[in-house]
């Protein structure tokens, strides 16, 4: 076997994982696993576990100096991405709901000549919805669709980010744009 083929074989040899972690690094690594788990289940807990996870990541990000610090920073960045997406989706859904409610209340108010809200006697069987414009309905519907798409994108983002982080952490590799060559 010549030297060029032995170099090629060595270049493709599997990387041996680090087996001798000191106790502090092992604890930090275990905490990074926990935070990834909390981020992964956050879509199913309305984001509460993500909030707990990001607090843990913020607490530990300055305490470690190894590659695990990149994981804590990545977890924090991932949290803020999903937080922004969920916040925008929620804002859009709330605006659509308020607008739709206002439109319906205004329509009921004008159709039934309501003078005292305490004496409402409304028969919705003869309710005329023809006064609601198509553009209003399309605007509200498209707002809800955009909100749903943002929510799904945020959910998929955090699930994929958590799995990718877990894989890199399991292989003792840093994560993030600056460390993709590792």
pLDDT digits (tens, 9 = 90+) for 70-99: 999 999 999 999 999 999 999 999 999 999
Q: Can you give the residue ranges of every domain in the chain?
A: 24-179
Question: In this predicted structure, what is the pLDDT of residue 36?
Answer: 96
Please tell me the distance from the alpha carbon of residue 86 to that of residue 89, in angstroms, as a whole number. 5
| Segments in the chain below pLDDT 70 | 1-21, 23, 113-124, 177-182
Question: In this predicted structure, what is the pLDDT of residue 87?
Answer: 96
Question: In this predicted structure, what is the pLDDT of residue 9?
Answer: 42
pTM (two decimals): 0.73
Question: In this predicted structure, what is the pLDDT of residue 72?
Answer: 92
Question: In this predicted structure, what is the pLDDT of residue 62?
Answer: 84
Q: Give, to the nearest 10 degrees, the angle between helix 23-40 and helix 134-170.
A: 160
Question: In this predicted structure, what is the pLDDT of residue 127?
Answer: 72
How far the first Cα of the chain sits from its last, in Å, is: 29
Three-state SS letters, the chain:
CCHHHHHHHHHCCCCCCCCCCCHHHHHHHHHHHHHHHHHHCHHHCCCHHHHHHHHHHHHHCCCCCCCHHHHHHHHHHHHHHHHHHHHHHHHHHHHHHHHHHHHHHHHHHHHCCCCCHHHCCCCHHHCCHHHCCHHHHHHHHHHHHHHHHHHHHHHHHHHHHHHHHHHHHHCCCCCCHHHCCC
């Amino acid at each position: 076997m010549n030297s060029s083929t032995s170099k090629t074989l060595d270049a493709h040899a599997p990387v041996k994982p680090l087996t001798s972690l000191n106790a502090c690094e092992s604890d930090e690594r275990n905490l990074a696993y926990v935070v990834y788990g909390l981020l992964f289940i956050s879509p199913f807990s309305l984001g509460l576990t993500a909030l707990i996870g990001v607090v843990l990541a913020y607490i530990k990000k300055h305490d470690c100096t190894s590659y695990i610090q990149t994981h804590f920073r990545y977890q924090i960045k991932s949290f803020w991405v999903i937080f922004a997406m969920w916040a925008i989706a929620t804002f859009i859904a709330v605006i659509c709901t308020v607008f739709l409610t206002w439109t319906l209340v205004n329509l009921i108010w004008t159709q039934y000549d309501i003078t005292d809200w305490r004496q409402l006697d409304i028969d919705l069987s003869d309710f005329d919805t023809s006064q609601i414009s198509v553009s209003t309905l399309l605007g509200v519907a498209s707002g809800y669709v955009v909100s749903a798409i943002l929510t799904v994108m945020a959910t998929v983002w955090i699930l994929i980010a958590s799995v990718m982080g877990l894989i890199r952490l399991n292989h003792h590799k840093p994560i993030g744009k600056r460390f993709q060559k590792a």
